[in-house]
Amino acid sequence: MPGSPIQNNMFNKSTGYVQNDNPFPVSSCGRRRNEGSPLTITNASYEKSNRDMRSKYKSETGKTLGSRQKGGTGSRRVSFACRFAGMKGPMKDSKGRPTRKAIALKKWGFGSVSAARNFCNKHKKS
């Protein structure tokens, strides 16, 4: 170690930065990795991201987005059902939590992709 013995003994020897409260295990390369989905979403965080998106849209365009339609056969609800009926992807992640797709379907009043597909086929106008 360069320097004089006095300089070398001024500080305690460090073992590096240690995170005691980090819930993720250290991988072979020394990094911490989240083994599950990188985005875990709760109802509250879904609502917050929805509010943020709506606010950003309004500030950029000056227009207000319509609210969700949980029931009925309105054209926006039919359009949503048709769009999500063809969407691929799981309804739950690897840990059994609902994905954004599942949460959105539930918010619009559909329990599954097949429910949205049936609704779309029954109410679309073409």
pLDDT one digit per residue (tens) for the chain, 126 residues: 567 777 777 766 666 666 677 666 777 666 766 665 555 677 888 889 889 999 999 999 999 988 888 888 889 999 999 999 988 889 998 888 888 899 999 999 999 999 999 999 999 887
Residue with tokens 């797709």: 101
CA distances from 8 to 17, 32, 42, 76, 107 (A): 20, 31, 51, 71, 63
With 0-12 CB in 10 A as exposed, 13-18 as middle and 19+ as buried, what is 53? exposed
Quote the domain boundaries for residue 109. Answer: 89-126
What pLDDT shows up at residue 16?
A: 66
CA-CA distance, 6 to 9, in Å (whole number)?
5
Helix 75-85 to helix 113-123 angle (10° resolution) is: 130
Number of structural domains in the chain: 1
Q: In 3D, which of 125, 122, 83, 73 has the Cα closest to residue 105?
A: 83
Q: How far is CA 67 from the centre of its chain?
A: 20
CA distances from 103 to 62, 80, 98, 109 (A): 27, 13, 6, 10
Identify whether the C-beta of residue 119 lies closer than 8 Å to the C-beta of residue 81.
Answer: yes
Residue 34 placed within a domain: no
What pLDDT shows up at residue 72?
A: 87
